[in-house]
Amino acid sequence: MLEFNCKNVSAERLGEGNGLNLEDEFNKYNDKIAKIISDLNSKKDKPGQWLQWMNLGYSEETVWFVKEYAAMTQGRFENILVLGIGGSALGGMAVCEALLKPYWNLLSPEQRNNMPRIFFLDNIDPDQMNGLLNVLDLKKTLVNVITKSGSTAETMSQFMILKNRLEEELGDDYRKHIVATTDQTTGILRQISNEEGYKTFVIPDDVGGRFSVFSAVGLLPFALVGIDIEDLMQGVKDMDLALKNTDIRHNIAAQNALIHYLMDTQKGKNLAVMMPYSSRLKYVSDWFVQIWAESLGKNKNLDGEPVCVGPTPIKAVGATDQHSQIQLYNEGPNNKLITFIRVKEFDSALEIPKIFEYTGIGYLGGKTINELLNAEADATRVTLVDYQRPNVTITLDNISPYNIGQLLYMLEVQTAITGALYHINAFDQPGVEQAKNYTYALMGRAGYEESAAVLQKKLSM
C-alpha cells in the first residue's frame, strides 16, 4: 500500500492563512465525500458515465488476450513503435519509463531478456519522425497504433506514413507488423483495420483516453516488452478496494482530492506541482499533468453555469528541479500545492567513494546516492514548510508493477473525486475537441469548410 502524508498542509505547520484544519475539514466534508465515492461506484457500470476505467483492473480477459498476443509475437520483433497522442501515449510512456530498466533501448538483447526496444511517437515533429525512421529497421518493427476516436490527425497521419513505409519495405507481409488499439465498432481506424485485416485490441466504451492506461492501450505495449501486467493489475485492484472506503480518514485519494480542492478554492493555491524524486517516475508527472488539466479545467459546471475552474498542473522532478523551480516555490507567490513522490528502496545502490577530504564535499564520501536523493527530498519538504508552502508526500516502498498500478489508479480516483468537488464533468474535453476541429478545418477535411473560412480570416488578421 502507498503511504500518504499530508501533515505539511496543516494550519498548525503553515499558519491559518496557508494551512488547513484537516480534522475539521475531514469532518465537514465526510458526508459529501462519502456520497461522491458511493456515486462513482454505483454509476461505474452505467453506460454514458465514462466510469468504465474503474472496472479495468478486473478485466482478466484483456490481460489474457494481451499476454497471448505478446507470447505469439515474442522473438519476432526488435522494436515496438507506439503511435498515439495524449491519453493514448502518456500512460504507456509513464509506466515503461518507470518499470523498464533505465536506458532500455540502449541495452543489449540479453540485458533486455530478449524483449524488444520500445519507442513512443507522441508528436508530429517531422525531424523527430524522420530521425526515428532513419534508425528503425521496419522489417523488425511492430507498429502499435492507438487512437480511441480513430481519427486524431496526429496519430492517423503518423499511421499513414508508417503503413506506407511498411508496405514499401515488406510487401504484403506488412499487415503482420501492425496492431491497432481502438474503439470496438466506431472510427476510421476500426474501419481500416477491418478492411485490411489488422490484429486489433479494443478500448472499451466509456473509457476516456487519459483514463485508459489499464486497458489494452497500456497493457499491450507493457506485455510486449515483458512488464508483469498481472502484478500491475493487482496493484490497481487492491487500490480500488481500498478507495471504495467512504470514510475520508481511510481513503487517501479522497484526502488528496479534498486538500487540492480546498487549497485552490480557499487558500489560493491554484497550481498543482507533481514532483517525484526519481527519474524513472519523470513521465508520471507528464501523465498526471494531462489527467489533471484535461479533467479539471472546465468552463461550465454540471448545472451549465459558467465557472472556469481548474488548478494548473506543473511537472517537476527531484532533485533536478531543485536547481530550477524550487527558488520560485519557496519565495515566489505562495500559490502552489506540491505533491512529492518519494521512493524508499531503489532497485540499485551507488556508493560515493571517499576520495576527497575537502570540507565542502568530503562528507559525501561513503554515503550512497540513494541517501543523498532522499535527503534532498526531505530537505525540500521541510524548507517549503519553513516558507509556509503546502506540500503532500506519496511514498512508494519501491518502483514495482504493483506499486505503479496503485499509484496511477490512486491518482485517477483522486482526479474523479476532485472533479466531483468542483461539480464539473471530469470526463469530457470540449476544449481539446475544439482545437481538433479547427485543425481538421485548416487541413481541408470535408464538412469543415465553414470553419476553415472563419479560421483563415482570423489567421490573416
- Asked if 277 and 373 count as a contact pair (C-beta separation under 8 A), the reply is yes
Decide: residue 48, CB within 10 A, 0-12 exposed, 13-18 middle, 19+ buried: exposed
Closest approach of ligand PA5 to the CB of residue 154, in Å: 8
Exactly one of 11, 188, 432, 455 binds ligand PA5 (CB under 6 A); that residue is: 432
* Cis peptide leading into residue 319 (ω within 30°): yes
Nearer to ligand PA5 by C-beta: 258 or 408?
408
Question: Is 436 marked active-site?
Answer: yes
For 319, other C-beta atoms within 10 Å of its C-beta total: 18
The whole-angstrom separation of Cα 372 and Cα 346 is 12
Closest approach of ligand PA5 to the CB of residue 428, in Å: 9
Exactly one of 88, 193, 256, 391 binds ligand PA5 (CB under 6 A); that residue is: 88
Stretch 327-356: interaction string toward ligand PA5, x if CB under 6 A: ------------------------------
Exactly one of 86, 221, 276, 419 binds ligand PA5 (CB under 6 A); that residue is: 86
Closest approach of ligand PA5 to the CB of residue 111, in Å: 32
145-172 core/surface letters (b: 16 or more CB in 10 A; e: else)? bbbbbbbbebbbebbebbbebbbeeeee
Stretch 122-151: interaction string toward ligand PA5, x if CB under 6 A: -------------------------xxx--
Cell numbers at residue 174, please? 506488412
- Asked if 412 and 245 count as a contact pair (C-beta separation under 8 A), the reply is no
Q: Identify which range of 65-73, 202-210, 280-288, 365-373 contacts ligand PA5 by CB under 6 A.
A: 202-210
Closest approach of ligand PA5 to the CB of residue 184, in Å: 14
193 scored as a contact of ligand PA5 (CB under 6 A): no
Stretch 411-430: interaction string toward ligand PA5, x if CB under 6 A: ------------------x-
Candidate list 25, 97, 154, 294, residue with the active-site label: 294
Residue with grid cell 487500490, as numbered in its chain: 239
Residue with grid cell 556508493, as numbered in its chain: 351
209 scored as a contact of ligand PA5 (CB under 6 A): yes
Candidate list 305, 323, 450, 458, residue with the active-site label: 323
Nearer to ligand PA5 by C-beta: 2 or 442?
442
The whole-angstrom separation of Cα 130 and Cα 126 is 6
Nearer to ligand PA5 by C-beta: 265 or 439?
439
Closest approach of ligand PA5 to the CB of residue 138, in Å: 22
Q: Identify which range of 9-17, 80-88, 231-239, 396-404 contacts ligand PA5 by CB under 6 A.
A: 80-88
Q: Residue 360: what are its φ and ψ, rounded to 5°?
A: -65, -25
Spell out the residues 6+ positions from residue 63 whose beta carbon is closer than 8 angstroms to its own.
219, 229, 230, 233
Which candidate, 428, 451, 426, 454, places its Cα nearest to that of 441? Answer: 451
The whole-angstrom separation of Cα 301 and Cα 299 is 7
92 scored as a contact of ligand PA5 (CB under 6 A): no
Spell out the residues 6+ positions from residue 136 whose beta carbon is closer than 8 angstroms to its own.
79, 81, 119
Closest approach of ligand PA5 to the CB of residue 74, in Å: 27
Closest approach of ligand PA5 to the CB of residue 91, in Å: 9
Q: Identify which range of 29-37, 85-93, 190-198, 237-245 contacts ligand PA5 by CB under 6 A.
A: 85-93
Residue with grid cell 476516456, as numbered in its chain: 208
Nearer to ligand PA5 by C-beta: 6 or 272?
272
Q: Are strands 3-5 and 391-396 parallel, antiparallel or unpaired?
A: antiparallel
Closest approach of ligand PA5 to the CB of residue 152, in Å: 3
Fill in the amino acid letter for 299.
Answer: N
Which candidate, 263, 413, 396, places its Cα nearest to that of 338? Answer: 263
190 scored as a contact of ligand PA5 (CB under 6 A): no
Closest approach of ligand PA5 to the CB of residue 109, in Å: 31
Nearer to ligand PA5 by C-beta: 86 or 405?
86
What is the H or E stretch that residue 276 is in? strand 271-276
Strands (E), 6-153: 79-83, 117-121, 141-147
Question: Is 323 marked active-site?
Answer: yes
Strands (E), 59-210: 79-83, 117-121, 141-147, 178-183, 199-203
Query: Could you tell me how many residues make up the chain?
Result: 461
Q: Identify which range of 83-91, 115-123, 308-316, 355-363 contacts ligand PA5 by CB under 6 A.
A: 83-91
Exactly one of 210, 260, 267, 298 binds ligand PA5 (CB under 6 A); that residue is: 210
366: left (phi over 0), alpha (psi -120 to 50) or beta: left
Q: How many residues belong to the site for ligand PA5 (CB under 6 A)? A: 15
294 scored as a contact of ligand PA5 (CB under 6 A): yes
Nearer to ligand PA5 by C-beta: 208 or 390?
208
Binding residues for ligand PA5, rule: CB under 6 A, are 85-88, 147-149, 152, 155, 208-210, 294, 429, 432
Active site residues: 294, 323, 436
